[in-house]
Amino acid sequence: MTPERYQEIEALFAAARKLPPAERSAYLAQACGADEALRHEVASLLSYDDRPNNFIDVPALALSAEPQFSNAGTALTGVQVDHYQVLTLLARGGMGEVYRARDTRLDREVALKALPAAYARDTDRLRRFEQEARAAGRLNHPNVLTVYDVGIYQGAPYMITELLQGHDLRTQLQQGAIPPQRALDYAHQIATGLTAAHSKDIVHRDLKPENIFITNDERLKILDFGLAKLTAPIASRTSRPAGEFITKPGLIMGTVGYMAPEQIRGHEIDGRTDVFALGVILHEMLTGTAPFSRGSDVETMNAILHEDPHDVAQSIKNFPPVLASIVQRCLKKDPQQRFQSASDLSFAIETLSSAVPISSVGAKTNRMSVSKGLRWLAVLSGLAILAGFLISRLDRYEFQWRNPLINAQFTPLTDFPENERSAAISRDGKFVAFISDRDGPLDVWVGQIGTGEFQNLTKNRAPDIGNPRVRSLGFSPDGSQLTFEVRIQDRVHSWAVSTLGGSVKPYIDGVELAWSPDGTRVAYHTDAPGDPMFIGGRDEKIGKQIYAAERGVHCHYLVWSSDGAFIYFVRGFPPDEMDIWRIKSTGESLEQITFHNSLVAYPTILNERMLLYIARGDDGTGPWLYGMDLEHRVSHRISVGVEQYTSLAASSDSRRLVATVANPDSGLWRVPISDHIVEESSAERLVLPTVRALAPRIGRDYILYLYSKGGNHGIWKFGDSSAIELWSGSLGRVVDGAAVSPDGQRIAFTAQRAGLNRLYFMNSNGTGVTELASSLTVRGAPAWSPGGDWLTLAAGQGKTAGLFNVPLNGGQPIPLIEGQAANPVWSPDGRFVIYSGAEVGTTFPLKAATVDGRPYRTSDVVLSRGANRFSFVPGQGLLVLKGDIWHKNFWLIDLVSGQQRQLTNFSREFVINDFDVSPDGREIIFSRVKENSDIVLIDIPEQ
């Protein structure tokens, strides 16, 4: 064929294709005339055109992802397998596919694991697998997956097991190392499960993080006993020289990094083989890397056979030596030198957990249980890690930099199940105070360090105490009084209470009191626009204003330099566009000190050269502890590990610091919208494939949410029991929730790239990512117009700030509202857009405007800080978050009548941070965070 011929064909093909099929042949006969070959050619191509579902219709890489055995027809959704009705696919992995299924005889939900048909060929092996799986399943041990049934369906074996909710240990490890206390707890649970199995002579043989499941209530389950026997290559069952074996890497299936030496050599295996694997897993949990992991399977196996494992105690300085020796002993090459049984190992872990010496000052130390001991151990070792890290890394990198916490001793001070926040320390370092909901409402608590006693000072006698985004609590210079922030009718004030107890009383109409080093002057700010900053004398009621930022900009966390010449403070747009600045106490020389442009909080002056503070990492992780030598002005992260820092304060001699440390857990929940107030029991947690999730948005048949594997938040799409990452946080941290277009086909979102918030949209499958309106400085997430052809968002352009409409076709942004406006949401009928107006104190009003930017009249609604998300419930009104500044519930507001109705009364443990309403208006999907915070004391020895 020639290009010219092809061209001829093209014209005829296109013309004929437009005709109804019945008329085509007549048309071709006429158009081709005598050229019979041409007619035949076009007719044959048209016949191919009519064939649907060719492989080239689907992009190549999407096709390649299909697992091999789906060819054998094991895509089982909707199929009846014996008496199991298969419902949905839960997971798809190397060993097969796992489905949610219903046992129609017993009428219960189960998990069905379908194995590749190839494994059924060896009937002898299949029978042994069946025996063993049943035996292990009958153990009925809480740490072993219960197997109900084993069968063969259309030539492929399957297993019926209990249905679990949670994630596997591999998923957990992708977040990095696990804090020692949890790692030990996990190892203990695995060892307990193995003990039960070994007692029945059942060896797992293939223990690895993929085979260990963590349920939502932190119960570990060992999966797939007996499966290794079914799937292991023939080679490992017969004795053969290692050399020959490793020249045929194709024979080895799965991960080799967890095999014991005797397994690689093909020698006899027993329970001690599983002990070795558990040692590898424990090492990996503690350090984040498997001890023998090398570039290839061959090298890995060589390392297992011949190399000593990396010493945990060496990679983590000040690591408890006992724990390190437990790991070492599991990893001995000779089974004789290992723990001789899983029960020995389990005993060793228990002993360690209760024997670690702790210099405690906490409240309940005398009744410390094993689990508490573990928890304390974690904090201690985490801090040891920090110190070690600093010595080995930072000092080497920068000659001048000396980590001030290098030899510091870290002591956990509280271990309440409730949260402790906003920790403060008296100037003499003898008392700590914090805000806690230990008695129900938020109160100010104080305790003398070393006594372990804490006293509730305010006893629910002060209104709305504290604020998560400011330093809410502080001691007076002489330590006799505590001043704290309260909120009355949406204005903030400082109240005071004696550290000995007694009455609570108003103190000053300003907040974040900072006393000068000599104790004669106090700096504070008010809640007027720009957070104007004042300095007053000890007994003056009204100070002199030294500074106010622009309207909309906030100034928090005031603190004096050690010579009393400067006020350091955090300035910017809360919560995550902040940095530390300083200004002379005379009001001159405003100067920016840090350059994070993220969450920055709690500047704490250690001495004339050293500033400590809390900030998120550049990759969005944290918040962590940072330090800066004020002469060199380079920020250094000084905390490592997973604990997040949420507050920080220092005694006047800077020898003692107090911090709050959190271990937050965030997830998605659902609750019905009902005609009465529903309680905590009506909230149901969604089971997601990722360990955390934030900012849900409901699409047609999917939910979008934000999640990060330790770094920046990306956009994930959850549907049909699995989740895929549509936008990776490595391309840019996603700011706020993504917005789904009205037809569900497109997703708009804001992501931070190269320090700038940019607006993007893409198809709902993650393709066609397009940047829009690059001239705008975007603030927050966009909202779709009701027609789906443009986006509304809060942004700045040059000197103009406000709401803009951005057409999807790439046209110029059009200003809609000028002035302070954020969080736009269009009404379902498209008649008006609702948005937040300028903040006053800790509140902001909702405003509304028509399509052409004119004010639209609704009932007055004022919301408090943290309630930035609102959404329409079709036909019912606007769903908002209302409550105190720490804890909010769902309320429904009728924008016409102004009537408000509370929908939920949830537990105070959680903070709701985002939500979406289902299109039918019957359900809320929301994300909330449980902070799990405690107070840690940091003692710095004399240098």
43, 163, 232, 253: which one contacts another protein (CB under 8 A)?
253
407, two tokens: 């030899």
Q: Residue 787's CB: how many other CB atoms inside 10 A?
A: 11
Interface residue with another protein among 30, 33, 34, 60 (CB under 8 A) is 60
CB neighbourhood size of 403 (10 A): 19
Residues 774-793 contacting another protein, CB under 8 A: 774
**Smallest gap, in angstroms, from Cβ of residue 111 to another protein?**
18
The residue from 13, 27, 347, 856 that contacts another protein (CB under 8 A) is: 13
User: Is residue 72 classed exposed, middle or buried when 0-12, 13-18 and 19+ CB atoms within 10 A define those classes?
Assistant: middle
Q: How far is the CB of 297 from another protein (least distance, A)?
A: 10
Q: Is 55 in the site for another protein (CB under 8 A)?
A: yes
CA distances from 466 to 440, 462, 510, 558, 569 (A): 15, 10, 13, 16, 18
Our CB check for another protein shows the closer of 7 and 503 to be 7
In 673-713, where do the E strands start and end? 678-679, 684-685, 694-698, 703-707
Which residues lie across from 784 on neighbouring strands? 791
For another protein, give the closer residue by CB, 355 or 731. Answer: 731
User: Which one, 427 or 692, has the nearer CB to another protein?
Assistant: 692
- Rounded to whole angstroms, the Cα distance separating 792 from 814 reads 9
Q: Does residue 22 belong to the site contacting another protein (CB under 8 A)?
A: no
How far is C-alpha 876 from the geometric centre of its chain's CA atoms?
Answer: 32
Pairing status of strand 678-679 against strand 904-905: parallel
CA-wise closest residue to 470 among 886, 867, 911 = 886
Question: Which residues, at least 6 apart from 784, have a Cβ–Cβ distance to it below 8 Å?
Answer: 739, 740, 741, 742, 748, 791, 792, 826
CA 818 from chain centre, in angstroms, equals 35
809 is a site residue for another protein (CB under 8 A): no
For residues 43 and 87, which CB has a smaller minimum distance to another protein in the complex? 43
Residue 69 lies near another protein (rule: CB under 8 A) = yes
Nearer to another protein, 321 or 768 (CB): 768
- DSSP assignments along 558-625, one per residue: EEE-TTSSEEEEEEEETTTEEEEEEEETTS---EE-----B-EEEEEE-SSSEEEEEE--TTS---EE
Q: In the stretch 72-111, what mask flags binding to another protein with x, by CB under 8 A?
A: ----------------------xx----------------
Amino acid at 232: A
Of these, 33, 241, 243, 250, which contacts another protein (CB under 8 A)?
Answer: 250
| CA–CA distance, 145 with 826 (Å, rounded to integer) | 49
- How far apart are the two ends of the chain, measured CA to CA in Å? 87
By CB under 8 A, name the one of 2, 30, 336, 503 that touches another protein: 2
Instruction: Kindly tell me which of 156 and 659 has the beta carbon lying closer to another protein.
Output: 156
Separation CA 419–CA 39 (nearest Å): 80
Asked whether position 125 contacts another protein by CB under 8 A, the answer is no
**Region from 330-338, 389-397, 656-664, 719-727 binding another protein, contact rule CB under 8 A:** 719-727
- Choose, by CB under 8 A, the member of 771, 789, 818, 920 that binds another protein: 771
* Beta carbons of 704 and 688 less than 8 angstroms apart: no
Which helix (H) or strand (E) is 242 found in, with range?
helix 242-246
**Tokens describing residue 560:** 């004096």
- Which segment (300-308, 458-466, 502-510, 767-775) binds another protein by CB under 8 A? 767-775
Closest CB 800 distance from another protein, rounded Å:
21
Based on the shown chain and the rule CB under 8 A, indicate whether residue 63 belongs to the binding site for another protein: yes
Stretch of residues binding another protein (CB under 8 A), selected from 247-255, 514-522, 593-601, 834-842:
247-255
Closer to another protein by CB, 96 or 320: give it: 96
Q: Which is nearer to another protein, 7 or 336 (CB)?
A: 7
126 neighbors 158 (Cβ within 8 angstroms):
no
Q: Does 56 bind another protein (CB under 8 A)?
A: yes
Which of residues 709 and 908 has its CB atom nearest to another protein in the complex? 709
Q: Is 760 exposed, middle or buried (0-12, 13-18, 19+ CB in 10 A)?
A: buried
Give the residue with the Cβ less far from another protein, 1 or 22: 1
Stretch binding another protein (CB under 8 A), from 157-165, 663-671, 758-766, 874-882: 758-766
796 in contact with another protein (CB under 8 A): no
Q: Is 67 in the site for another protein (CB under 8 A)?
A: yes
Residues contacting another protein: total by CB under 8 A: 60
* Active-site residue, from 49, 82, 168, 206: 206
Q: Which stretch binds another protein (CB under 8 A): 251-259, 407-415, 579-587, 866-874?
A: 251-259
- Binding residue for another protein (CB under 8 A) from 22, 30, 33, 54? 54
Rule CB under 8 A: say whether 701 interacts with another protein.
Answer: no
Q: Give one DSSP letter per residue of 274-343, joined into a string.
A: HHHHHHHHHHHHHHSS-TT--SSHHHHHHHHHH-PPPPHHHHSTT--HHHHHHHHHHT-SSGGGS-SSHH
Query: What angle (nearest 5°) sits at the alpha carbon of residue 772, between those of residues 766 and 773?
Result: 160
| Residue from the set 29, 251, 355, 590 that interacts with another protein by CB under 8 A | 251
CB of 62 to another protein, least distance (A): 6
> Measured from the CB of residue 3, what is the shortest distance to another protein in angstroms?
5
What residues between 661 and 690 interact with another protein by CB under 8 A? 689-690
Does position 27 interact with another protein (CB under 8 A)? The reply is no
Q: Which CB sits closer to another protein, 91 or 840?
A: 91
Q: Which amino acid is at 763?
A: N
Q: Does 68 bind another protein (CB under 8 A)?
A: yes
Name the residue nearer to another protein (CB basis): 590 or 724.
724
d(CA 622, CA 601): 12
Answer for which of 36, 66, 563, 631 binds another protein (CB under 8 A) is 66
Look-up: residue for tokens 């020249």? 247
- If one asks whether residue 244 binds another protein (CB under 8 A), the answer comes out as no
The correct pick among 22, 30, 48, 701 for binding another protein (CB under 8 A) is 48
Question: What is the 3-state secondary structure of 264-280?
Answer: HHCCCCCHHHHHHHHHH
CB of 19 to another protein, least distance (A): 14
Give the shortest CB-119-to-another protein separation in angstroms.
10
Contacts of 935 (CB under 8 A, 6+ apart): 412, 413, 414, 420, 423, 432, 434, 658, 659, 660, 661
Binding track, positions 148-187, relative to another protein; x by CB under 8 A: -----------------------x--x-------------
Instruction: Say whether residue 123 binds another protein (CB under 8 A).
Output: no
Active site residue 701: no
Of the two residues 354 and 774, which places its CB atom closer to another protein in the complex? 774
Spatial separation of the C-alpha atoms in residues 620 and 613, rounded to whole Å: 16
Judged by DSSP in three states, 397 sits in: helix
Instruction: Report DSSP state, residue 9.
Output: H
26, 355, 590, 731: which one contacts another protein (CB under 8 A)? 731
As measured in angstroms, the least distance from the Cβ of 775 to another protein is: 11
Distance between CA atoms of residues 238 and 475, nearest Å: 73
Concatenated DSSP letters of 711-745? SS-EEEEEETTEEEEEE-GGG-EEEEEEEE-TTSS
Q: Name the residues annotated as catalytic.
A: 206
Residues that bind another protein (CB under 8 A): 1-3, 6-7, 9-10, 13-14, 17, 44-46, 48-49, 51, 54-57, 59-69, 71, 94-95, 116, 118, 171, 174, 250-254, 689-690, 722-726, 728, 731, 763, 765-769, 771, 774
